[in-house]
């Protein structure tokens, strides 16, 4: 029997995948549509250990948290997983035993904060582009 520390029990996560769309000027805009989730899974969220943080920083992909998924999930790098009101950008995925029983997602919470519902939202009705693109166009 697995004993959980309070706050690490199984929670329902939703996976959002990056999609693209062209704006009126033909530029491709990438974003995450919260209305079209790819899948969901049960997992346990925890802070990454100092060793894991250093290993991922050396590869140029900083992480803050890990999510242990019971059974396999559809999440992959560059996806966003959402639980309750928190969002996590997936930097990598590992199958520890290579048997398909568990997956470990290595995530960064701070990277996902501006990607959903912000200026880069793909389902923008006006399709005008991001604030960065507008600033670059205006000089």
DSSP state of 138: H
pLDDT digits (tens, 9 = 90+) for 7-59: 567 889 999 998 888 888 889 888 888 888 899 999 988 899 999 999 999 99
What is the percent of the chain where pLDDT is above 70?
A: 76
1 found inside a domain: no
pLDDT digits (tens, 9 = 90+) for 75-87: 889 999 999 888 9
Mean pLDDT of the chain: 80
107 found inside a domain: yes
Question: Residue 134 — pLDDT band, cuts 50, 70, 90?
Answer: very low
3 found inside a domain: no
pLDDT value of residue 110:
84
Range of the domain at 111: 11-138
124 found inside a domain: yes
30 found inside a domain: yes
> DSSP letters along 5-40, please?
PTT-S-EEEEEE-EEEEE-TTS-EEEEE-TTS--EE
pLDDT value of residue 88:
93
């Amino acid at each position: 029997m697995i004993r959980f520390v309070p706050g690490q029990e199984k929670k329902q996560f939703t996976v959002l995948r990056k999609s693209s769309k062209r704006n009126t000027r033909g530029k491709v805009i990438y974003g995450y549509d919260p209305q079209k989730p790819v899948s969901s899974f049960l997992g346990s969220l925890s802070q990454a250990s100092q060793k894991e943080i250093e290993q991922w920083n050396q590869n140029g992909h900083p992480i803050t948290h890990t999510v242990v998924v019971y059974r396999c999930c559809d999440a992959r790098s560059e996806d966003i997983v959402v639980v309750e009101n928190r969002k996590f950008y997936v930097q990598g995925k590992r199958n520890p035993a290579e048997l398909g029983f568990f997956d470990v997602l290595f995530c960064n919470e701070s990277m996902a904060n501006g990607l959903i519902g912000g200026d880069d939202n793909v389902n923008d009705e006006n399709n005008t582009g991001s604030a960065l693109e507008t600033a670059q166009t205006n000089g």
